[in-house]
Structure 1
Amino acid sequence: MGYFVTVESGVNLFVEDLNHAGRKTIVFLHGWPLSHKQFEYQFTVLSGMGYRCIGIDWRGFGKSDKPVNGYTFDRLADDIRVVVDALQIENFTLLGHSTGGSIAIRYMNRHKGYGVSKLILVDAAAPTGFTKETANQLLKESLNDRPKMMQGVTDTFFFQYITKPFSDWFVQMGLQASGWSTAAIITVLRDENLHADLPNIDSPTLLIHGSHDKVIPFSQAIDLHQKIKSSQLVPFHYSGHGPFWEERNRFNQIITEFIGRP
């Protein structure tokens, strides 16, 4: 079931809420510049196993409203808190991929992990995001030929082979975002870091990271593992930046083992 939640005047976020009766809840935060649809192979399997799966499109992305302002980790984390309050969910697992992982980390610090029992960070863009050089190149491409930029992102995203239909689907998912929000998040990933947030994460944390990730190097996962208390790091040796698809069966199994069966 899909619906909208108002997070501030004139800004509504799209929420995909599957298996409302599920006894354990997972909240999914997608990566840049995608949407909740990237987790199709989790929603399909995990909801069938009895989990409640909630996917949130951040402002500016997917089916959510696309205001000009509000693209900081603080505001994006605050948006998640509003959705959590509106849905009255508690004792849930928060799962963030890439920049969604950055937002999850800021949520854990800024909102003291409100409602979260466990945290899963997948190829998180943290504690730092893009290098200045990478960000500036992506920003230039985004502002001049965004479809070409998105194709380039897709081409470096996966370690395993993807078909042209899959590539086309993935590119179109990224192009559903607005141009201004796409560019704004590149700037955030260049200019903000999350070093100060990490010591304040107390929830049990699972770190999943592709060994062949060309977007966020595996070394960042090692850094997170060293700085987040009660964390465990699981390398995915046959994945790049997308283990949620590249090793989806193992990915889903590892998640259910960490959360526990419903």
Structure 2
Amino acid sequence: MNTQSSRAQAASYITTPDGVQLYYKDWGPKDGPVVTFSHGWPLNSDSWESQMLFLADQGYRVIAHDRRGHGRSSQPWEGNDMDHYADDLAAVINTLDLNDVTLVGFSTGGGEITRYIGRHGTDRVKKAALISAVPPMMLQTEDYPGGLPIEVFDGLRKASLDNRSQLYRDIASGPFFGFNRDGANVSQGLIDSFWVQGMQAGHKNTYDCIAAFSATDFRADLAKFDVPTLIVHGDDDQIVPIDASAHAAAERVQNAELIVYPGAPHGLTDTHKDRLNQDLLDFLAK
């Protein structure tokens, strides 16, 4: 047995070089074109079900893992940072020996695939898609004034320590899906799903992840993109404002295709899933 296959575990688990067990889903025909999905905070691969089911039915092999510390993966005390997240994605891709992969990342997952390209290149990558994604950077700094003030993320950290269960309910019932907007069609099911996924994740892991998704600077990583790239963002994203993210990322990635969904919230993978599914399918077919 070779080294790559020996690292694959039973029951859809992969063990990383530093001993973390990553749960993953591998749907669709095994000989189909490969699409990987990297999820947002504090969610897991279940948040991609709509896209994965749709694309698998279209003949694609779709793979998504639970980030370390999230979902069904193990909860390491250390390594809850973007470099490790990117290396974990590399462990999935290398262990399963995937090639010509289209990397799709949502929110924090968009940072994950961006850092993957920055650290591991595009030898195994065919295309990339950033959905409601955090790059180039969320945090406001002297040389990145368009970001959000540190107080925003300190507030998230405090709310996480005070009562993270309530925090997840508040995010899901408010800005994440745009349910705090007048006339919104509020779905209790989506709120419950977000909360359940959040509470499956480790407390320390999700706490550390706030710094990972907010303070990581992806500008140098974006400069290394040399594959066709799709950027999708809602212009009413209250979590990752579009000006500091999608618009800025599109300027840094050569020949990136930017699609803006008017009125769409951060969680458009659910609220606008039919349009996103079709946009992904069209992008994959090009």
Tell me the TM-score range normalised by the shorter chain: over 0.9
Matches within 5 A, 1:27-176: 27-130=36-139, 131=148, 132-154=150-172, 155-159=174-178, 160-176=184-200
CA distance in 2, matches of 1:150, 1:6: 29
Distance 2:186 2:124 in 1: 37
Larger Rg: 2
CA contact (8 A) 2:29 2:59 kept: no
Deviation at 1:206, TM superposition (A): 0.1
How far the C-alpha of 1:55 sits from its partner, in A, is: 0.7
Q: CA deviation at 1:9?
A: 4.2
Cα pair 2:37 2:64 within 8 Å, conserved = yes
CA distance in 2, matches of 1:59, 1:142: 18
Q: Quickly say closer, same or farther: Cα 1:123–1:27, change in 2 above 3 A.
A: same
Aligned with 2:135: secondary structure?
coil
Task: Give SS of 1:157's match.
Answer: coil
Q: Let me know the Cα RMSD of the aligned residues.
A: 1.5
Q: Could you tell which deviates more after superposition, 161-170 or 248-257?
A: 161-170
Aligned amino acid, residue 23 of structure 1: G
Alpha-carbon distance in 1 for matches of 2:29, 2:14: 16
Displacement after TM superposition at 1:128 (Å): 1.1
Give the Cα separation in 2 of the matches to 1:33 and 1:84: 22
Shift of 1:200: 1.1
Q: Does the CA contact (< 8 Å) of 2:115 and 2:221 recur in 1? A: yes
CA gap of 1:225–1:245, structure 2 versus 1, over 3 A, is same
CA spacing shift, 1:148–1:178, aligned 2, 3 Å: same
Structure 1 pair 167–22 and aligned structure 2 pair: CA distance change class (3 A): farther
Cα distance between partner residues in 2 of 1:210 and 1:248? 12
Question: Structure 1 9/109 Cα, relative in aligned 2: closer, same or farther at 3 Å?
Answer: closer
Task: Give the drift of 1:190.
Answer: 3.5
Q: Which runs of 5+ in 1 are unaligned?
A: none
Matching residue of 1:235: 260
Q: Matches of 1:229 and 1:50 in 2, distance apart?
A: 29
Q: Which runs of 4+ in 1 moved over 3 A?
A: none
2:280 & 2:34 partners in 1: Cα distance?
12
Corresponding position: 1:180 with 2:204: yes
Residue of 256, 271, 276 corresponding to 1:246? 271
When structure 1 is superposed on structure 2, of 243-252 and 201-210 the one drifting more is 243-252
Cα offset for 1:2?
A: 5.6
Distance across 2 between alignment mates of 1:84 and 1:165:
32
Supply the distance in 2 between the matched residues of 1:197 and 1:47 (Cα, whole angstroms): 29
Is the partner of 1:200 in helix, strand or coil? coil
Q: What's 2:237 paired with?
A: 213
Aligned to 1:77, the other structure's residue is in SS state: helix
Figure out how many residues of one structure are paired with residues of the other and give that number. Answer: 261
Shifted more, 94-103 versus 73-82: the winner is 73-82
Percent of matched pairs sharing the same residue? 31
CA deviation map 1:228-261 (0-9, x unaligned): 1120100111420012111111101110111118
- Equivalent-residue separation in structure 2 for 1:34 and 1:171 (angstroms): 9
1: CA distance, partners of 2:11 / 2:175 = 31
Unaligned runs of 5+ in 2: 1-9, 140-147, 179-183
Find the aligned partners of 2:185 and 2:229 in 1 and give their Cα distance.
30
Q: Tell me which amino acid in the other structure corresponds to 2:25.
A: E
